[in-house]
Amino acid sequence: MPRINLIVTLLTLVLIIISLTSNEQTIKEIDKFTKKKQNIDFRLTYSIDSVPHNLNLFCKVLLVSGKNQQISIPSELIPHYLSSKDVFFSDSGRIFLLNQNLIKNDTAQISIQLISDLSISHTFFIPVNYRGVLILNYSGENGENGKNGEDGKYGLISGPKNVLPETGKPGYDGMNGENGKELRIMIKSFTTKANSRTNISCLVLYNKDNDPLDSFKIDIPNSKILLLLNGGNGGNGGNGGNGGHGSDGDKRMYGSWGQFGAFGGKGGNGGNGGNGGNLIIEIDKSLSEIIQRLTIQNNGGKGGLGGNQGEMGARGIDYFRGNESFDVRTIRNTNSQMPKLNGLNGNNGNSGLNPSISSLNK
């Protein structure tokens, strides 16, 4: 059995190496094409039958020269050559819609640019068919990390003048994560004179104040819904600033000792994770099958980590009869006797409640 595992591992490594080598060769060919040809443009092709509501669209891309010479871009290299603020490109050749508001009259309008020349941009109008996985993300935002504290200033010894080194400034606390949203979702049949597709249903989302938030249409027999209401993670606390170095003793003075370094600043506390959101579902009895295709995540966010205390500043050089002492810049034992002033970790958020489900047909 171990021998079989070894063979599988070796074959996997060989395939990865072949894939990487092939991609490197393809990139060289595409780059050579773009350098030699004039007026480079691009085309995106796709199958309308594969376009669900969140796009999740498998596409192909061609680079085209002014003389209509073409070279295809492999799916895993599309993110290397195209960019967009409207869609995300996966390495499997799929694009995912980032903003549901781009859908107007059952058509998604997206803009894509050529990375090598951002002035080359095209707008595509892609009809949607309301199939596939509809991802609705209403999770809380993660808290920002706290900034690190500033380092303390160096000490100074010059004749009778003796300025002690500064303690490092404390790190800032991380921000708390936001709570997941509190939502009510209504799932009902979508029937209008213009709607010839009988399987299309409508999802209407309301916020905690019962104001309409969003609405979506889905083809229930061919759809799944992933609803994310997770709490945001707390931000990490900033590290404390390092203590200032102690100044060297004054060489002009007999038996002059250097200063001890200053203590490092306290680490900032981590932010608390946000709580998971809660959901109320109201649904037509005839559409109850969608509950089996609905996945809800409303976990609490993780607490941020506390920042570390800053390092103690090094001790300055001692001078005794013009010679440096044996403990030059090495004495830190006073710091080891003190409790570490690391920041506290934030608390994890609480998970949301199980969703409340009721029927619209009273």
Mean pLDDT for the chain overall: 79
Q: What is the pLDDT of residue 73?
A: 83
With b meaning 16 or more CB within 10 Å and e meaning fewer, what string describes 149-176?
bbbbbbbbbeeeeeebbbbbbbbbbbbb
Q: Where are the domains of the chain?
A: 26-129, 131-362
Rounded Cα distance, 330 and 325, in Å: 10
Range with top average pLDDT, 13-17, 212-216, 331-335: 212-216
Q: Residue length, the chain? A: 362
pLDDT tens string 77-107: 888 888 888 888 877 777 777 776 787 777 8
**What is the chain's Cα-based Rg?**
31
CA-wise closest residue to 306 among 235, 234, 237: 237
Tens digit of each residue's pLDDT (9 = 90 or more) over 41-70: 888 877 655 444 555 567 788 888 877 788
Of 158-172, 250-264, 316-330, the one with minimum mean pLDDT is 316-330
Cβ–Cβ contacts within 10 Å for residue 323, how many? Answer: 8
Q: What is the mean pLDDT of residues 129-147?
A: 87
Looking at the chain, the whole-number percentage of residues with pLDDT higher than 90 is 29
CA distance 22 to 179: 46
Higher pLDDT, 74 or 131: 74
pTM recorded for the entire structure: 0.63
Exposure letters 183-192 (e unless 16+ CB within 10 A, then b):
bbbbbbebee
Predicted local distance difference test score (pLDDT) of residue 114: 84
Query: Which residues are bridge partners to 109 per DSSP?
Result: 125
What is the mean pLDDT of the segment spanning 281-310? 91
pLDDT score, position 301? 96
With a CB cutoff of 8 Å and minimum separation 6, the contacts of 139 are: 180, 181, 228, 229, 230, 231, 232, 277
pLDDT reading at 352 higher than 90: yes
